[in-house]
Structure 1
């Protein structure tokens, strides 16, 4: 049963770690997130409240074949790395990435303080996430998400919970 009344986002269970296989998992740091969309049973889009500590990164630089993404900064300062360069992201700033647009991106906390942001992403069956800087892709099948090398070989399953 999912709540049918407003709640404080800070009451949603905190998740941490990543589902990346090594050698990528250890690059992510100790970031955490609250899966707000899942808390309410939403199925058409994900909605996460994420916190990056100094030195953390949100993900490896990636783009999605079928899913849109939107990032909205709440607190702190992050560096957004895209195909077009590095950009500072501060509270109130936002950016969107259209499905199929090959503008690989991720956020890195290069500051000395934690930073919080919202991520909204569509959930489209058959989406693939591509990582141009790494030998990695995530394929979505009926059985879930699977990390694979660019030649299609599967990575061993990660034991971490993940974003």
Structure 2
């Protein structure tokens, strides 16, 4: 099994979120691990959140499981009914179809990092708990089905 050189994988803070929903993730920097390792059956990313950054808008997936492992620093996991501090070594998991919206916020004064892994049927999409937006394989939509003028980053 080859060791991945994480630092050699291109890093990006790009997002497909339409304005104004893109602001909170400006300090999120990600590297796609799965493609770098030649993996195709699941997604995996290394993510760094700068102080004040969010991992995403609060969301849930209809057809994908998610697993997150904190590597360094700390972040606040925000879900429908709770706020939980996650630190290095903590693990969180969300089953596909569970409509418990979740995301991480770095409320500390230092970077934090984690790896997130997802698997399942991405085409089933999901929704954002706090805003008028859903996601499909093709892009972002208002809840009434009207598309946002942006492309979803895959």
- Aligned partner of 1:81 among 78, 81, 94: 78
- Aligned partner of 1:147 among 140, 145, 148: 140
| Contact 1:49–1:118 (Cα < 8 Å) also in 2 | yes
Moved more, 22-31 or 90-99: 22-31
TM-score by length of 1: 0.88
In structure 1, the gaps of 5 or more residues are none
| Contact 2:4–2:37 (Cα < 8 Å) also in 1 | no
What is the alpha-carbon distance in structure 2 between the residues aligned to residue 134 and residue 32 of structure 1? Answer: 22
CA RMSD of aligned residues (A): 1.6
| Residues 52 and 149 of structure 1: CA distance in aligned 2, closer, same or farther (over 3 Å) | same
TM-score by length of 2: 0.93
Aligned to 2:49: 52
Aligned to 2:149: 156
- Aligned partner of 2:37 among 40, 46, 54: 40
| Contact 2:61–2:96 (Cα < 8 Å) also in 1 | yes
Q: For residues 89-122 of structure 1, what are the alpha-carbon distances to aligned partners after superposition, in whole Å with 9 as ceiling and x for unaligned? A: 0000011000001111000000000000000011
Shift of 1:162: 4.1
Is 1:124 aligned with 2:121? Answer: yes
- Aligned partner of 2:99 among 97, 102, 112: 102
In structure 2, the gaps of 5 or more residues are none
Number of residue pairs matched by the alignment: 154
